[in-house]
Structure 1
Amino acid sequence: MNTSYRVRFWEIRSNTRSEGPGKKPRIVSHTVRWTVGNREKSSTFKTKGLAENFLSSLRQAAKNGEAFDLGSGLPLSMIEAKEGRTWYSLAVAYVQAWWPHAAAKSREGITDSLAYVTPILVNDHPGRPDDEDIRRVLLEYSFVPEERRPVPSEKVLRVVRWLEAASLPLTAMEEPKHTRAALEALSLRLDGKAAAASTYRRKRAVFHRVLEYAVELGELSANPIHKVKFRKTKTSDEVDRRSVVNPAQARRLLTAVTYAGRTRGVMMAAMFACMYFGALRPAEAAGLREANCHLPETGWGMLTLEKSRPESNKRYTDSGEANDERGLKHRHEKETRHVPIPPELVAILRAHIEEYGVAEDGRLFRTRNGKSFPGSTVSMVWKQARAFAFPPEVVTSPLARRPYDLRHAAVSLWLNAGVHAPEVAQRAGHGVDVLLRVYAKCIDGQHETANKRILAALGT
């Protein structure tokens, strides 16, 4: 390795991209420039903060009298650190960095995705533990912030030591074969069968972000995932129209719920009604409070949604409970959404409050001890209700297979009733583009109406 102590630094250069005539160019990246001997070197970062941190590290190394490598332009201490970094240590660092900024479900998705690829990105090191043990340790210990980790048993420590010794050096990720192996793992379920397209897409996105993180830290020159021509899995967000119930079927299901789950079903009936008549997401219904409800004796009411209570493993929540209270999906934390509700739902909610009251914090839907209904219990009640409401051949069909399908039915009903897409999107908490893409196949019977309107506009 050829080195030099003659180092010179330049100011950080901001790189811009034209946004069109008359518009101010947009800064897209920042480049650190320096020379080692007579050789010019540079490294580009997405944010100025990352560029400043990198330049500061270079300056500090030069101040400490370190030699710089003529080939890479890096001080020897940074080369040693780069060569010593493994995929496992990067994944652990990524979880530590992003945990405070992610919701519980996002944390769960990140750790689950990393637990798929980490056992693949290893050398053939002796003493490999069982795959099940590796996955359990990654989920319950390694990919959890240090302050949340349980006291490790000797078995856990053995797995961790093996991962630290066997994990591929990060520099090996430059070889496409390792990236391809990771993508292959993400495309499969634990039982070896093909994963759903949406599952693969979500896990690949996590893998991509971790590699981008390494690029930002200067530990990879470029994201190696872009070098791999892995097969593209077709994905579709469109709602299956076979899952959408009509109003008569929806009312039959809401009645059947009251006969399911002993006492739980009747306590959940109004919650399911909110999903159908108001198109609430399950987490939004779980977070609904009496103060959010305007329920007049006659006419339409109004729900002002401000909180949701998504369910996740307690390991990933800030509260240590299964449900963390969050803002509305895809909205700022304090942003609200107003949903007009028809008289039928107003009457259902008034009767529910009169019969069961509300929790100490005002929530409408909760168990006897004040907690949100567990997702497993909700699914069990819904399964029983479908069996009560439908004949066997319909029970085995996709029709209203999940409680979430009630929300799909509501939005589909509004669109087919001729409600303008922006109004439907506002009530459902969607963007108009997402709304039309997701529900495109659920809009029926509009051809004649459209033809009449076009003829009227043409004046014929």
Structure 2
Amino acid sequence: MKTYNVRIWSIRKRNSKSAPYQLRWLVNGAEFQEPFTTKTLADARRSQLVTATKNGEPFDVATGVPVSELREATSPTWYEHARAYVLMKWPRAAAKHRASIGESLAIAVPTLVSTRRGAPSQATLRKALYQWAFRAVRNADGVLVSRHEMEEAPAEIRSALAWLSANSRKVNELENPDLLRPTLDALSLLLNGTPAAENTVRRKVMVLSNFLRYTVDEKGLLPFNPLLRLDWTTPEADGEIDFRYVPDPALARSLIAAVRQQGARGEHLEAFFGSIYYAATRPSEAAALKEWDFVLPPDTPEAAEIWGEVLVEESRPEVGRGWTNDGTPYEKRGLKHRTRKAYRSVPIPPVLVRMVRAHIAAYGTAPDGRIFWGARGGRVSSTEYCNVWADARAIVLSDEEARTPLAEVPRLLRSAGVSLWIKAGADPVEVARRAGHSVAVLFRFYARILRGQQAVANQQIDSALKST
């Protein structure tokens, strides 16, 4: 509890040989005192307290000292504070977010040190923090603790953490915001010193900002957020897709056909890539699709050209085993930026209806109903489907095209699918709904294509105006 109800008395001399001068003051009615050997020392301390009151600084009721003094005396180090923050966030954070916090703080914390003398390499420090100090496990009593407290870490990891513990700055030292500049520089660079992507920097700085806000608002360890007092701007992220490298419909179909040419695994993954393109699912959403998510028309000649529907309601993004609650290399979660029970209905064209029906007939389903799985069971891994995709590119693209980012990653199939919908003249609101975007995000990512469609809309409106 803090108070401004402070009264400081004059120094008095008492009958004591060891400390004859006594300073007394009242804080919210409670008396505090400090003895001194000389009057000069007592006067200096009294001046400190008087200055604090003149500066409008509150005093702590329990200890009787100015709040700034209490912060300095009780301030943890940034290493200790970051570990506590990770344990606080862990129970309610998704696995991906846990990993993002660990990654960002593993870069930031080694910059907040008092010296570099005897420091381990940056790679070793980041590994020690990311894989050990900032990963949580439960002890025998079910309490979350840092991993290195429960498991025996390699010698270089133990040494790195010991060095960091000994040299980490205290939290209150960041009342000098300039000490944060090396942290922001580190978040802006890759380990090899090259600039990180704008979106990556923004994500890491956001983690740091949340951490500092927690430090100020919830823990009261700093009087202000030092990030807000620095002349430093987060890089602008250009969210618009580079459509030079998004496959057109003919290329998308050729690549999916090339997937099928690659033996048993390729045949199994054909409908996986088909779902990404024709239904614009994210790869993590395609990996979670189950048989009952599909509503298919009758398997009759009369219904051969009827559209079906897929209800997308789950995503299984990949993340390291150390970040999930059950030790799996992925987590089960709802749709991106949606509530856990939300779903979206996506109409699917006859070509995907046939592809999915043939896939289920040939392979059946996993025990939990999923229609796609990895070579060893479980979730189909990104390593597996990216390898198949790379081989498909090698089959379809020329040597010159293969050296460019054209169709470089499977998720560009999703961009190709959404682009096709826009170019076909579908309402942007409906396109956004099917893709699982907000309209604002759709316009940011696909602005160039949408601007191109404005000319078509203008012509249609112009024709309508002239006919009336």
Tell me which interval the TM-score lies in, with the shorter structure as reference length.
0.7 to 0.9
Q: For residues 123-177 of structure 1, what are the alpha-carbon distances to aligned partners after superposition, in whole Å with 9 as ceiling and x for unaligned?
A: 1164322322211110111101252613334443322221111001112212232
**Quick one: which of 347, 351, 370 aligns to 1:363?**
370
Aligned runs of 1:253-272 on 2, under 5 Å?
Answer: 253-260=255-262, 262-272=263-273
1:401 aligns with 2:382: no
Q: Which residue of 2 aligns with 1:50?
A: none
After TM superposition, the structure 1 stretch with the greater mean CA deviation from structure 2, 450-459 or 193-202, is 450-459
For 1:119 and 1:347, the matched residues in 2 are separated by 54
The root-mean-square deviation of aligned C-alpha atoms, in Å, is 2.4
Contact 1:5 1:67 (8 Å CA) reproduced:
no
For 1:353 and 1:381, the matched residues in 2 are separated by 20
Aligned runs of 1:168-179 on 2, under 5 Å?
Answer: 168-179=169-180
Aligned runs of 1:281-292 on 2, under 5 Å?
Answer: 281-292=282-293
User: Post-superposition shift, 1:420?
Assistant: 0.5
Q: Secondary structure at the match of 2:335?
A: coil
Contact 1:4 1:67 (8 Å CA) reproduced:
no
User: Post-superposition shift, 1:80?
Assistant: 2.2
Q: Which residue of 2 aligns with 1:72?
A: 67
Call closer, same or farther: CA 1:125–1:201 in 2, change over 3 Å: closer
Contact 2:275 2:281 (8 Å CA) reproduced:
yes
Contact 1:189 1:195 (8 Å CA) reproduced:
yes
Q: Which residue of 1 aligns with 2:239?
A: 237
After TM superposition, the structure 1 stretch with the greater mean CA deviation from structure 2, 92-101 or 436-445, is 436-445
The aligned length equals 408
User: Post-superposition shift, 1:456?
Assistant: 4.0
Q: Secondary structure at the match of 1:132?
A: helix
Contact 1:6 1:37 (8 Å CA) reproduced:
no
Q: Which residue of 2 aligns with 1:49?
A: none
For 2:452 and 2:164, the matched residues in 1 are separated by 58
Q: Secondary structure at the match of 1:334?
A: coil
For 2:121 and 2:445, the matched residues in 1 are separated by 41
User: Post-superposition shift, 1:233?
Assistant: 2.3
After TM superposition, the structure 1 stretch with the greater mean CA deviation from structure 2, 370-379 or 149-158, is 149-158
1:417 aligns with 2:424: yes
For 1:308 and 1:182, the matched residues in 2 are separated by 33
User: Post-superposition shift, 1:226?
Assistant: 1.4
Aligned runs of 1:364-383 on 2, under 5 Å?
Answer: 364-383=371-390
Aligned runs of 1:46-445 on 2, under 5 Å?
Answer: 62=61, 66-69=62-65, 71-72=66-67, 76=70, 80-82=73-75, 85-124=76-115, 126-147=117-138, 149=147, 150-216=151-217, 217-260=219-262, 262-296=263-297, 297=299, 298=303, 299-443=306-450, 445=452
Q: Secondary structure at the match of 2:110?
A: coil
Contact 2:201 2:234 (8 Å CA) reproduced:
no
Structure 1 stretches (4+) deviating beyond 6 angstroms? Answer: 36-40
Look up the equivalent residue of 1:250 and give its one-letter code.
A
For 1:210 and 1:444, the matched residues in 2 are separated by 39
For 1:293 and 1:185, the matched residues in 2 are separated by 46
Contact 1:416 1:444 (8 Å CA) reproduced:
no
Call closer, same or farther: CA 1:105–1:86 in 2, change over 3 Å: same
User: Post-superposition shift, 1:443?
Assistant: 3.7
User: Post-superposition shift, 1:419?
Assistant: 0.6
Q: Secondary structure at the match of 2:247?
A: coil
User: Post-superposition shift, 1:93?
Assistant: 1.3
For 1:265 and 1:155, the matched residues in 2 are separated by 43
**Percent identity among equivalent residues?**
38
Contact 2:244 2:406 (8 Å CA) reproduced:
yes
For 1:169 and 1:161, the matched residues in 2 are separated by 16
For 1:223 and 1:447, the matched residues in 2 are separated by 44
For 1:202 and 1:447, the matched residues in 2 are separated by 33
Contact 1:412 1:443 (8 Å CA) reproduced:
no
For 2:405 and 2:157, the matched residues in 1 are separated by 42
Look up the equivalent residue of 2:312 and give its one-letter code.
L
For 2:379 and 2:409, the matched residues in 1 are separated by 18
Look up the equivalent residue of 1:139 and give its one-letter code.
Y
Q: Secondary structure at the match of 1:422?
A: helix
Q: Secondary structure at the match of 2:310?
A: strand
Q: Secondary structure at the match of 1:68?
A: coil
For 1:231 and 1:411, the matched residues in 2 are separated by 32
User: Post-superposition shift, 1:41?
Assistant: 5.6
Contact 1:289 1:364 (8 Å CA) reproduced:
yes
Give the structure with higher Rg (CA): 2
For 2:157 and 2:459, the matched residues in 1 are separated by 70
Q: Secondary structure at the match of 2:309?
A: strand
For 1:457 and 1:41, the matched residues in 2 are separated by 70
Q: Secondary structure at the match of 1:401?
A: coil
User: Post-superposition shift, 1:232?
Assistant: 4.6
Call closer, same or farther: CA 1:373–1:333 in 2, change over 3 Å: same
User: Post-superposition shift, 1:263?
Assistant: 2.7
